[in-house]
Chain A
């Protein structure tokens, strides 16, 4: 028995112990996050103990894990993937605790609670709640807060504030941060992480201020400070949870336009933003190929939707423009807010719905909080295709793919192709599984709705179509369907490769 275990240990090429040790430490520190909703619960005289208990359990579990795998602190490239993948699974589990421990009737099923928590941390914003407004203030805010924590990355946050993680930090960060390549902002990975979080916190503060001002000045009566914070915590990480049942439709036009601006900012490259702010130089934006395509696609998408909305006469004037721009921005940046129940467009304006589902595959920019494939990969894929066409005519030509005039490594080029293929493959697989499961359990899901559900969870967007539309809920899906979608959210948030590599034999071999 011991000999067998020893043989197994020698045959495994991954230091599982070291990875678990680090995961334990990360989870332990995550317990501090519960202090925020706990304080809120005190303020609103709501039950505090679910948060305190959740914090205690998380801290205890993390500490236990850390102690059990003590003495093996060396985390290399291989262990990094395991650390990132497991940390996100554990974080979602920790996040589900307050839902389960509290007496919230809508979230008593463990699968539902875990779905809601994973949807929060991965900034998907897909909800199983039939009645969002039935939540207590503190639970509602915890739900928003999980998105904010997950937006810029739990590990990136840990790198920025915790002292220990510095070794091997780059690789950990690269597997968590969106985009094919990490463009460093500072000499040390720790400073890069800090600067990214600084931009993130600053923008969130700015949005809270902007929204709260709208409320105070009377431009929008339904916007209280609580709502301002809750929605800023959801916009900046491109999450999509709202405290309102009708999402952003509950607010006025001024609020909706403000949120459009912040969604667009959240989906743009934070590294670029930091540089532009630091040097007071907006030319960097004009020159950035990804940013140009990002704006171009936002514009084209909004135009396509607007033309159809006007054509069928669903809205007119400013309302039409606002609904078109809001929906495209929200879906493309993978936020998932809605200013109108676009599920109702399916019959009257089907083209617009098609455009929105297509935009789910675009996503935000590299080093943004947006999910999905990311604009930069689309830029690169376009260039790779052009090069392939050229090389069929001129087989000997040597032509590096360039991004913003800088040659891109061939390894990165291959990684981009592999990513997109895997992304599409997993999306198709997810959609097929959802259709099969829906047929088996007799839940009414059309193939197109299954496609939307798979795309929305893998891309961390949020709303799907049908009963899971922007105003609806994912509750009617069967438990197995929810597990599939939890996996899709997890894989999508970590940009596929770090998760998929864990399922290869080569990863575990010595």
Chain B
């Protein structure tokens, strides 16, 4: 495969490192020194210049490329480049962004990019996983977020589910290997018709090894599978609880630093109904964040003020995340927090070398946003199966959003009597409210049906409705 990578920074370099041996990689960057360093280390070709221009893209032979990865640190450059590539070639595009609103627009298919990765969101998910609350990964939303399509990696029994490249200390590993209890056993490993699947949700698809299964009653979810679930936001939360394997949940987290990363982490944790306290030294930013997150408690204070930590009893929090801009400050604040009794500390690091420093110093987990982002992009680039899933638009599988016609034969037929064709009606949007249908519900004309189906059956489904 021929791949063009825009940006030779930390993210770009990690991607190149992972892809260069199997693929034909061209790197584009403005900085000649960075390009030279990369080309000395790996067998890649380089083009110097602004990747958001036609000339440079043509120099990088974009016409023959299969995939373009725009991972510079500037969102708009990445988006312009992706837009140009869509016109100039057949290549698929991956865009890195730090703006959650771009991500949302992409999820609602308003930005024409094949895959979008947000460093902040990936970091937030990584943090969420390390504290034992695997967050649902949203791939699609319908009806103003009332219907969500989310994917989960089903954890293996007993085995630790650590992030590749993110070292877990013993504490985290112990936390991950607690005995399985609770709802996990009632869902995973049982035939679906017996499994206690959360209300208002359906398993839309199970991916096992290379095969995608259309779930039927007799099939079961097994550890190691990746599953796609359609359901309400509450159901998505319930699923995430199940995937946490019934461990005692961390219910109280303090986040130091309310920058873009801190904010994204707070959002993901709040979504899981975890109590979040944010500490931000800049008054203006603190106010902004407080306005944005009504559910979080925001303090305008320095994270390294022992009086403040004592006064607000921060030591009683179960976990703390250090997401300030400087690694050294994060390290100091984390040590101080440990002194005050916080048990589990997660540091966000910006320099690759800091991971080791943090670990040596006794910080429980270090998460590097750039490497997390690069990993996600590489996963996508490597594995066509994941790629199809993430886009939900591949050759085999589609999500349809169809308004039911008056003349459809299926109108007013109870769901349990609908023919089984390998498609699944995940949800219905009626008068702006989402309904998750049961056997006795019926389709009404004018409903918006959100349907999972195999690509070969799209025409058939469209005709039927």
Contact = CB atoms under 8 A, between A and B. Distances in A.
A506 interface: no
A396 interface: yes
A407 B286 CA distance: 13
A396 B312 contact: yes
14 contacts: A394-B312, A396-B301, A396-B311, A397-B298, A398-B280, A398-B287, A398-B289, A398-B298, A398-B299, A398-B300, A399-B290, A399-B297, A400-B290, A402-B294
CB-based closest 5 A-B pairs: A407-B291, A396-B301, A396-B299, A398-B286, A398-B298
Contacts of A394: 299, 311-312
Contact of A400 (B291, B299, B300, B311): B291
Contacts of B290: 398-400, 407
B42 interface: no
A440 interface: no
Interface string A392-410: 0010111110100101000
B300 A405 contact: no
Interface in B112-150: none
Most B CB contacts (10 A, CB to CB) among A396, A398, A399 go to A398
A397 B299 contact: yes
A400 B288 CA distance: 9
B287 A396 contact: no
Nearest to A406: B291
Interface of B: 280, 283, 286-287, 289-291, 294, 297-301, 308, 311-312
A399 B312 contact: no
Contacts of A400: 287, 290-291
Contacts of B300: 396-398
Nearest to A408: B291
B433 to A, nearest CB: 12
A456 B294 CA distance: 39
A407 B287 CA distance: 10
A18 to B, nearest CB: 37
B310 to A, nearest CB: 12
A402 B291 CA distance: 9
A411 to B, nearest CB: 13
Contacts of A407: 290-291
A339 to B, nearest CB: 43
A402 B287 CA distance: 12
Interface of A: 394, 396-400, 402, 405, 407
A402 B294 CA distance: 9
Nearest to B287: A398
Contacts of A396: 299-301, 308, 311-312
A398 B286 CA distance: 7
A176 to B, nearest CB: 29
Contacts of B312: 394, 396
A402 B283 CA distance: 18
Nearest to B286: A398
Contacts of A402: 294
Nearest to A395: B311
Given A394-B299, A398-B280, A407-B290, 12 more contacts: A394-B311, A396-B299, A396-B301, A396-B308, A397-B297, A397-B298, A397-B300, A398-B286, A398-B290, A398-B299, A400-B291, A402-B294
Nearest to A399: B290
Contacts of B299: 394, 396-398
Contacts of B301: 396
Contacts of B297: 397, 399
Contacts of A405: 294
A396 B290 CA distance: 12
B386 to A, nearest CB: 38
A407 B290 CA distance: 9
A396 B283 CA distance: 10
Nearest to B302: A396
A503 B195 CA distance: 75
A396 B303 CA distance: 12
Nearest to B292: A407
Nearest to A402: B294
A38 B217 CA distance: 83
Contacts of B289: 398
A117 B299 CA distance: 54
A399 B297 CA distance: 8
Nearest to A390: B297
Nearest to A394: B312
A405 B293 CA distance: 10
A442 B299 CA distance: 60
Contacts of B280: 398
Nearest to B291: A407
A36 B299 CA distance: 61
A303 B280 CA distance: 48
A405 B290 CA distance: 12
A96 to B, nearest CB: 49
B256 to A, nearest CB: 13
Contacts of B283: 398
A397 B290 CA distance: 9
A405 B286 CA distance: 18
A286 to B, nearest CB: 16
A394 B294 CA distance: 17
A362 to B, nearest CB: 27
B77 to A, nearest CB: 32
Nearest to A405: B294
Contacts of A398: 280, 283, 286-287, 289-290, 298-300
A281 to B, nearest CB: 10
A400 B291 CA distance: 6
A384 to B, nearest CB: 15
Contacts of B291: 400, 407
A416 B286 CA distance: 23
A397 B278 CA distance: 10
Contacts of B298: 397-399
A407 B298 CA distance: 14
Contacts of B286: 398
A470 to B, nearest CB: 45
Contacts of B287: 398, 400
Contacts of A399: 290, 297-298
A405 B289 CA distance: 14
A396 B312 CA distance: 9
A399 B291 CA distance: 8
A168 B91 CA distance: 54
A398 B300 CA distance: 6
Which one of A394, A397, A405 has the highest number of Cβ atoms from chain B below 10 Å of its Cβ?
A397
B304 to A, nearest CB: 13
Nearest to A407: B291
B253 to A, nearest CB: 17
A28 B286 CA distance: 52
A402 to B, nearest CB: 6
B133 to A, nearest CB: 25
Nearest to B299: A396
A398 B308 CA distance: 14
A396 B311 CA distance: 10
A400 B300 CA distance: 12
A432 B272 CA distance: 58
A407 B289 CA distance: 11
Contacts of B308: 396
Contacts of B294: 402, 405
B431 to A, nearest CB: 11
Nearest to B305: A396
Nearest to B298: A398
B112 to A, nearest CB: 30
B292 to A, nearest CB: 9
A397 B286 CA distance: 9
B248 to A, nearest CB: 27
A398 B301 CA distance: 10
